[in-house]
Amino acid sequence: MLKVGLAALPDSATALHVAVIDTGIGISAQHLPTIFKEFTQVVVGGKQSRGGTGLGLTISKSIIELQGGGITVESEPDKGSAFIFQIPFALSESNDQILMGDFDETSARMLLRNKHVLLAEDNIINVLLATTMLKKWNMNYNVAYNGREAFSLFGKINFDLVMTDIQMPEMDGVELAAKIRSASDLEKVNTPILAITANVTKEDHQTYFSSGIDAIELKPFFEKELIDKIDSLLKNITPTRVNLGGAQVQATV
């Protein structure tokens, strides 16, 4: 059962209130404190009760909290469970419609199909979110969990796009981008680079662009915005870089 409603909050705000209720096997009280932890699965009668990775609730909780909300669970064995979450929203004083732009989904699907993406990200939840979106749009991908591993893969495989986190162990996204732009292979040096980051300052973004990053998508990222950004990069809207003896030359295409 799904229940959806609005709840009033202070300061003229409101919250989307959602309850997902089932009549399944339920969850015992001893398991409730850990139900949202990574790789947690309920065991009943000495056996794992369901398949899966034990990451679904962890990912759901992360997405909700990134939007300023919270999630709770109420459950009783043999009776079922209720997962309840709220996400706050500020009420707009404008009646203007929000325009979604001229994103052409059909054209994007044709362009992105079978494109090969290198994803450099050390957070398993962000990896699952990003790869789920890439698979949905029929893109292929390799995952590296730090910048050094990503650069090694970059040297062995031809990628259409590099998606990189900024803060990673061993080698961060800025250093990874700089190494890619210094590659001796003229075809590889032009590979578009999309940074995925929660950093919002102008100074940080300028550092990223100076390293050779072409575009930035802010966390938390959403499917439409991410795919739109990838679509634009693969249409060669951004400048093309050519490495000439260590100096980078930009040519707009």
Which residues does 56 contact at the CB level (< 8 Å), separation at least 6? none
CB 233 within 8 A of CB 253: no
CB 165 within 8 A of CB 120: yes
Instruction: Place 99 in a pLDDT band, splitting at 50, 70 and 90.
Output: very low
* CATH topology for the 2-90 domain: Heat Shock Protein 90 (3.30.565)
Omega cis (within 30) before 220: yes
In the chain, CATH 3.30.565.10 covers 2-90
The CATH architecture one would assign to domain 105-246 is: 3-Layer(aba) Sandwich (3.40)
CB 208 within 8 A of CB 166: yes
Check residue 2 and give its pLDDT: 85
In the chain, CATH 3.40.50.2300 covers 105-246
Which residues does 168 contact at the CB level (< 8 Å), separation at least 6? 120, 121, 122, 145, 146, 147, 176
pTM for this entry: 0.61
CB 73 within 8 A of CB 34: no
| pLDDT over 80 at 101, yes or no | no
